[in-house]
Chain A
Amino acid sequence: MNIQEFQTKLFSAAQTSGFTDVEMYYEKKEVFGCQVYKGEIDQYEIAEDGGVSFRGIINGKMGYAYSEKIDKASIPFLLENAKENTRIMHDEDIEEIFAGSSHYGRGNFFSTSLNEITIPEKVQFIKDVERELLALDSRIVATDYCMIRTESASRNLSNNKGLSLTDQMNYLYVIVEAIVKDGEETKTSAEFKVTKDFHSLNAKEIAIKAADAALSQLGSRNIASKDYPVLLRNDAAASLLAIFSANFSAENTQAGLSSLKDKLGKQIAGQKITIVDDPFLEEGLASRTFDSEGVATKKLTLVESGVLQSLLHNQKTAKKEQTKTTGHAHKDSYKSAVKVGPSNLYLEPSGVTFEELLRVMDEGILITELSGLHSGANTVSGDFSVAANGFYVADGKVQYPINLMTIAGNFYQLLQDVEEIGADLIFPLSPVGSPSVLVKTLSVTVE
């Protein structure tokens, strides 16, 4: 059964079962991935993927169900489960099926030329990256992974109020992690590139970056554990911001899970900090013209010069605060309920170069990687204590790598303590981006 036919049958059966308003959300994607190891294809993946979710109002309550099997039997499955699920729901905070925004922006998230790149071209490219990498230095012993991946996806939302919206996007990424060894010391470092322009990629350039990042960590030393000024390199800063981005969700403030509650219009960060959410970035991994309720998306400033300007809202959270949705209804996929979430969220860059940031810091620690954020950061309290890799900086220059460290602090305090922001905005294979950020002080413990 094709998807159009499925939708027609689903909506008509829903009406018969007593649903008043109904919506179908459909995702479909094509995936290709290839990993090479020592010159050979090691893993190879090719897929067609997708599923539907149904939302519908019955007896004044919204029911949800999803299915990856698009067949006749799934129609009663979706309707019966959605109906049964409403029985245990409380009837306050009614969700609505949305009739549509007056205007939708035009998305430019799909590159026709990217979809024309052949599988052999992609495979050859990733083999080139590995070959270039292994030839660079005898201390590079292997790659932990060296892969290329493309995804081409579409999402569609239709409802009985006449709305029918479609977004299409595609992207390609390359990721390579080099393993380097010198005597007893082993280090790894990953380098990645995300693009819609395959021909802009240069295998040698990626190899050199991955090699440099790993080799520069060899010869690590110990330094005293204490408080230091810290320069969070762009990718490390972005990973930290990503973890705490959920704190801008009105769903979390309303549930008492984010301390940004009642902070609208207040100074929550240093004056240099401006945080925006832009759903129209061409290369953004979370770009979209409509949100998961079908509301038109638009660019939103969350924090301007340190002042909290807005939270992220969907229809339900907006209603609770007598405000308007910001177009941030979010589902991780057709399998999820409608929640609140950012699109491409980032800290706005300044004009300060990375070298200048090092000079301003003078002495301190440059952090190049954070790990264990999923467990070491408490989004509710804002406290974090996570493992880090980085370098000792003195006289405004990188001196030497440091043994494994932890850095600890509090996200809200860190926002206040930002002294300078770099120009080097990056989205490290993530919809959350940041430039490098110089922080007054964080607690550093060295192994």
Chain B
Amino acid sequence: MLSKSLIEDVLTAALSTGGDFSEIFVEDRFTNNITLQSGRIETCLSGRDFGVGIRVFKGLQSVYAYTTDFSKEGLINAAKNAAQAITGNTIIQLVPLIHEKAETIHPVQIMPQEVDKFRKAAIMKKTYDTAKNYHSSISQVTVRFMDEEQNVLIANSEGKFAEDKRVRSKLSIQAVAVRDNQMETGFHGPGAHQGFEFFENLNIDHYANEAARIAVTMLDASPCPSGKFPVIIDNEFGGVIFHEACGHGLEATSVAKNNSVFANRIGEKVAPSIVTYIDDGTIQNEWGSINIDDEGEKARKNVLIENGILKGYLIDKFNSRRMGMESTGSGRRQSFRFAPTSRMTNTYIAPGKSTPEEIIANTEQGIYTKYMGGGQVNPATGDYNFAVMEAYEVKNGKLGKPLKGATLIGNGPKTLQLVDMVGNNLGHGAGMCGSLSGSIPVNVGQPMIRVSEITVGGTKGE
């Protein structure tokens, strides 16, 4: 994407005022976004994102500059702008760059740019028709199609010179069901680190019907009661609760400054022994998977909590300095507009021994959440909140009526201690995660789990 000599010039210019590390990130990304609503293609947008990010460290100071001006003058200028934030004389020399093509652990068969858009539209139409025809109360279906090819080049003053191609595909379905004045929605959004073959192999009927079924089911749902209950959280996207309650608190972004509730607790028991929590960027073709991270480090499987004991954090290059610990291949960013920081890839609770049937049968009274919406956490306090998309009451070991309007709130580390059953049905769900370095694709995952007590906020009093 840029010549080796130009990269060397930029890295050297960035070090000219005494920086002890410099890095360049070049991104060339092709994207298609298509929206189908009311049975018609509403928008079809294609684009090319292109830009360069330059980073300089000096000790615990980090400077970031980015530009869409890719001329030699533009890049050298950006490097000098970054260097200006540091004062001093050159202290290190560039290590000669050695080119490496990232090893592809997520093979792509059909490149999105090579597929006729009619074939993409056909996938969307089929999805729309399936969801729309699910039930007469379905009044609207919005289908969003996204594919992208992101080419990156990452080089740094330590001699790293890596290139990678990331291809991602995602289909989102939102269904609306209407009865009288009541409107309810259902959503599903599968995605993968894969080419067009993802859509061809996707069980569209399943996802479209599920989105529609949730909306229709919610028409008959009762207001969720408020209070503290045992909560059963089903697999796949249910894992978003530990993504928020625990994953963000294990990112070096908050651990390095001791702002996280998990800081300085390696080796301590932070969860019951049935809980093992893993971040694994190497799972083949998963939505959150990477070949290399955005600092050029190879993707890894990082065990964060093993049988309840805190084993490690997610660490990027800069925070590894403050922490005195190695990077874990977790430096990620939305685009060249963001300096990378520690982020999750595919994070999940490892499967346990209980069957889903056992978990439900063992719960006398509580709430079962089949699908979660999104959530949020404050890493400094550990306080989290989640929206529940589809929930049911549990009575005497059996599922009861559907419930709507439930929100789960609590404190991450405390909730983690209250996990008392872990199922054997591990599944993953695709989502977008927003944090300091922007919005990035991640998977959340878990088998069905039970937490002995969570505060449920609903619209019906206790």
Contact = CB atoms under 8 A, between A and B. Distances in A.
A42 interface: yes
A90 B48 CA distance: 24
B69 interface: yes
B60 to A, nearest CB: 7
Nearest to A41: B61
B176 A380 contact: yes
Contact of A445 (B69, B181, B226, B404): B226
B226 A47 contact: no
B385 A372 contact: yes
A371 interface: yes
Question: How would you classify the secondary structure of chain A's contact residues: helix, strand, loop or mixed?
Answer: strand
Contact of B85 (A41, A84, A257, A376): A41
Interface in B167-192: 176, 178, 181-185
Interface string A356-393: 00000000000000011011101011010111000000
B67 to A, nearest CB: 5
Nearest to B376: A372
A67 interface: yes
B64 interface: yes
Given A43-B339, A225-B461, A447-B410, A179 B380 contact: yes
Contacts of B178: 256
Give the size category of B's interface with A: 35 or more
Give the size category of A's interface with B: 35 or more
Given A335-B45, A371-B376, A406-B385, A68 B68 contact: yes
B350 interface: no
A387 B407 contact: yes
A366 B406 CA distance: 22
A192 interface: no
B44 A372 contact: no
A225 B227 contact: yes
Interface in A174-207: 179, 186-188
A179 B181 CA distance: 45
Contact of A44 (B50, B85, B410, B456): B85
Contact of B47 (A66, A407, A445): A66
Contacts of B49: 51, 68, 335
A318 to B, nearest CB: 16
B185 A381 contact: yes
A37 B321 CA distance: 15
A52 to B, nearest CB: 10
Interface in A262-287: none
A219 to B, nearest CB: 15
Given A67-B50, A447-B455, A372 B407 contact: yes
A226 interface: yes
Contacts of A53: 47
B184 A381 contact: yes
Nearest to A180: B380
Given A88-B121, A188-B378, A68 B51 contact: yes
A45 B28 CA distance: 21
9 contacts: A49-B68, A68-B51, A256-B178, A376-B387, A380-B185, A385-B387, A386-B385, A387-B407, A447-B410
Given A47-B65, A447-B411, 5 more contacts: A255-B140, A256-B140, A380-B185, A387-B409, A404-B409
